[in-house]
Structure 1
Amino acid sequence: MTYTGTLEVKAEVSIDDTGTVTGIAWPFGKPDSYGDLIEPTAFKFAPEIPMIVEHEQRQVVGIWNSHEVTDKGLEVKGRLFVEGVGPAREARRHLVAGSMSGLSIGYQLHEHKARPEGGRVLTDLTITEISLCRRPVHPDARTTEVKSITEGSSMENEAVQNPLVVEQKSDPVASQEEVKALKARMDAFEAKSNRIRGANNNHPNGQNDNSEKKALESFMRTGSIAEVKAIATDSNVDGGYFVLPTTDLTIRSLLTDLSPMRGLAEVVSIAGNKYERFYSLGKRGAQKVSERSDRPQDTATPNLIKHSYGVCEYYAAPTTTRTLLEDAAVDLSSWLINNVVHDFAETEGEDFMTGDGADNSPKGLLTYPTASEKDFAREWGKFQYVAAGATAPTDAQLSDALIKLISTLRRPYKGNAVFLMNSATALRLRQIKDTTGRYLWAPTGNLIEGVDHPLLGFRVEIDESMPDIGSGETPIAFGDFKQGYVIVDRQGIRVEQDSTTRKGWIVFDSYKRLGGGAGDFNAIKFLKISAN
């Protein structure tokens, strides 16, 4: 998968043929080799969609005349410029011979979401070009029919008078362009074989070629972008360089480990600077009527509430000496991750809980108001709390309040519900016993046996940003955090090297953009240390 600005190419490129070509550019119901799916409603189309060779923009060989989203997928039909374009005739030769039968789409991605199984679900995109290719990323994206425009209905006669055997015989005789391409691939394989093969988190067996890591290290030590350009998918000198794909995956994994809210909440990636969604209060309008009674024309209509989430910039600038960077024994990728990513993870984790939301920064979960009224009776924009029964609750009062807290959360949210508290609160609950000496929270005894030692049957997550037990505090949250809080990622971490501001030192300007805020205010409940 490659990026060019905001253009995302979903498959390897292929050469197309002269004539009329039909096929399925993107099949539904099966992910591609990256694990990506596209929703049928996601497609938009540019005014004109060129037919090109291997996503090579200078190799326009035709035009796609029609496109239609069907049950099978995105079906397309196009015309090759066989009358005057040499590459189009060459492409047709490969299509007829069967050596090229794949289709690959190029598009601008606007919105997507993560798939639980891995990969993404693309929900909004614009198709800008479609290529013919030998090896599409989606194995089922194939041409289904090739017709000659210049020969019209003589296609069947061509199969007899100019049989495919001629094409097959001549195909093994590689053209000059194919020889160059083969040589380039062999050079690339040789270059990869000379690189170090240390193990890392992505390939624990140590058999990977570490090309991305080596390119990143070379860029950080010398400032040279030669290898980065050869490997990276975007080398925009004005906007810096994206962290390379392998490193970016590692960064996201560490963020999930360090920031509990990032692992609990819904994470949405956006292409713009704002994310909007709607919630319905779900007022029922149905009424009982008799056979002859009038039907009312003013029944209740559900109210829609719009939430907007902006994004702000997070910035860090780790600095080190040139001498250290030139030391080949230093693991530069690990150094970058351990400094920058930990800074970002700790800062964003605090903001997800206590951020003030100023200048499009995340608004923390604990900063929203709470009220005791139940769902649909409570004002929207407030979370519900359950009182512990006292400003200094006893163990028995805490136990009763926990049971009431679980009961207050309505059934639709309990399937993914978890407790969230800090370690001091968890210690207090761990020490609560009944009259027979059995612990309230234990792996055995009066609770369910299981992994992670559930509290009253539900998993517990520890976040030190949660307050301690004290008068007026809300030390325990319980609910479905994926429904109750939204994290918005504008882009991954980007890095720019600065070796001129301070001689002898290298500064890595690192930044990312994100936002966040509450989602469904019915999905999370709080235990409040108060009498009522």
Structure 2
Amino acid sequence: MIKTDEPRLENKAAATPAGGDVNALFAEFMSAFEEFKSTNDARLAEIEKRGGADALFEDKLDRLNALLDGQKAALDKAAVDRARPALEGGRAHGGDEYKDAFSAYIKRGEEKALSVGSNPDGGYLVPAETETEISRLLTEVSPMRAICGVRQVSSSVYKKPITVSGPQVGWVGETGARAQTTSQTIDELSFPTMELYAMPAATQNFLDDAAVDVGRWIAEEVNAAFAEQETGAFVAGDGVNKPTGFLDATIVAEDSWSWDNLGYVATGVDGGFPGGVDPVDASDVLIDLVYALKAGYRQNATWLMNRATQAAVRKLKDADGNYLWQPAAQANGRASLMGFPLVEAEDMPDIGSDTTPIAFGDFRRGYLIVDRQGVNVLRDPYSAKPYVLFYTTKRVGGGIADYDAIKLLKFGAS
């Protein structure tokens, strides 16, 4: 039976103040992981001895998984808060007339000073500092932006030529005949940008507050909304009024891989890992997935999965009894799986019949995010009185840039 004198498990994600002691949080996280390992080891020992484990083990592991996830979220938030520059009370830098004009437009709707970036719809480009801040915040909260390639463009569609196969070559003797070789095959990838919007609201009293940095306020209000919508599209978007996600591609068994498809490795079990409760058998398919990726991509590869899948992966061991999942070595680092960094994306599917909840690859080469320069803001003080709405839009696209750089683990028989 599982011990009843276990330490109390507390999820401190919600209780941790912004900018808390990151080192203390990290120490708590590592302590929870050690407790997780000892509980899982006891569960496996009981399975080996009796052929099954007490349900209390599973219950405690679920709670420890939730605790680890909560503490990691608290760590990430504290690290981001500590890294943010101090606000300067909304004081504009001297000589930045456009920033002053933008602030006047946001606060009072004064348009006469805005001549740069105006458009026929009455909206205005946000200052470059705010646009950069929005992009920075998006990178911090969007797992896909943190690992994928990002390109800024000035047109609505970005086209990228790519060599699918190189020219034919061969060895030849000094006086041997040289037959004409076939030329390389070039494909063109197209990345159209789609409009993404958010509409934060504020009271006029809030905007009139001299301490409000309107650029920072706009950035922080829209970044979470943008990041949530973007991540879902980059993972599984269908390309209709949104970017095309990498999971929208046709998938084929790795042995039959060809361009325009993503290759997968099957677990051999419908909806589960092989080997049942044996964590060593389950780890074999992860090794197969790692080596399905070519060495040139593998050196910069990353795992991508959601929180529930990561909870299952935490229990896996190698043949020597070492856990494949390891926590970050430092407070602001990433967890790793088999030595490769692991990134959480809640839009990845759960483990189920014939699903592909685990992706592994060099996403910086495999998936391209395209941002059209400029973020527009349209002030609307009429539609939701007494609130002032700010219709904020940006154009973004995305799609697979290299079909050979990302591999999937399919939880199916074949």
The verdict on how the C-alpha distance between 1:217 and 1:208 changes in structure 2, with shifts beyond 3 A counting, is closer
Match of 1:425 among 309, 313, 323: 309
The yes-or-no answer on 1:219 pairing with 2:123 is no
Equivalent residue, structure 2, for 1:13 = none
- C-alpha distance in 2, partners of 1:203/1:419? 31
Equivalent residue, structure 2, for 1:271 = 154
The verdict on how the C-alpha distance between 1:451 and 1:489 changes in structure 2, with shifts beyond 3 A counting, is closer
Equivalent residue, structure 1, for 2:229 = 347
Displacement of 1:257 after TM fit?
Answer: 1.4
The yes-or-no answer on 1:389 pairing with 2:389 is no
| Structure with higher strand content | 1
RMSD of aligned residue pairs (Cα, Å): 3.0
The answer to whether the 8 A contact 2:380-2:390 is kept is: yes
The answer to whether the 8 A contact 2:254-2:265 is kept is: no
**Larger Rg computed on CA atoms:** 1
Displacement of 1:389 after TM fit?
Answer: 2.3
The verdict on how the C-alpha distance between 1:411 and 1:251 changes in structure 2, with shifts beyond 3 A counting, is same
The verdict on how the C-alpha distance between 1:208 and 1:344 changes in structure 2, with shifts beyond 3 A counting, is closer
Displacement of 1:237 after TM fit?
Answer: 5.9
Equivalent residue, structure 1, for 2:300 = 416
The answer to whether the 8 A contact 2:156-2:192 is kept is: yes
Q: Which amino acid aligns with 1:529?
A: F
The yes-or-no answer on 1:471 pairing with 2:365 is no
Displacement of 1:290 after TM fit?
Answer: 4.0
Cα deviation per residue 1:143-171 (whole Å; 9 max; x = unaligned)? xxxxxxxxxxxxxxxxxxxxxxxxxxxxx
SS of residue paired to 2:264: strand
Q: Which runs of 5+ in 1 are unaligned?
A: 1-199
- C-alpha distance in 1, partners of 2:364/2:320? 38
| Structure with higher helix content | 2
Match of 2:244 among 363, 371, 379: 363
SS of residue paired to 1:459: strand
Taking CA–CA contacts closer than 8 Å with sequence separation of 6 or more, which of the two structures ends up with the larger relative contact order?
2
The answer to whether the 8 A contact 1:202-1:246 is kept is: no
- C-alpha distance in 2, partners of 1:215/1:373? 56
Equivalent residue, structure 2, for 1:99 = none
Deviates more, 1:517-526 or 1:500-509: 500-509
Alignment of 1:454-469 (within 5 A): 454-469=336-351
Match of 1:510 among 382, 392, 399: 392
The yes-or-no answer on 1:243 pairing with 2:126 is yes
Displacement of 1:308 after TM fit?
Answer: 0.9
Match of 1:308 among 183, 190, 203: 190
Aligned-residue identity in percent: 38
The verdict on how the C-alpha distance between 1:385 and 1:348 changes in structure 2, with shifts beyond 3 A counting, is same
Q: Which amino acid aligns with 2:357?
A: P
SS of residue paired to 2:325: coil
Alignment of 1:160-179 (within 5 A): none
Q: Which amino acid aligns with 1:423?
A: R
The answer to whether the 8 A contact 2:89-2:213 is kept is: no
TM-score computed with the length of structure 2 as normaliser: 0.70
Q: Which runs of 5+ in 2 are unaligned?
A: 1-81
Displacement of 1:451 after TM fit?
Answer: 5.4
Cα deviation per residue 1:89-112 (whole Å; 9 max; x = unaligned)? xxxxxxxxxxxxxxxxxxxxxxxx
The answer to whether the 8 A contact 2:89-2:212 is kept is: no
- C-alpha distance in 1, partners of 2:110/2:333? 49
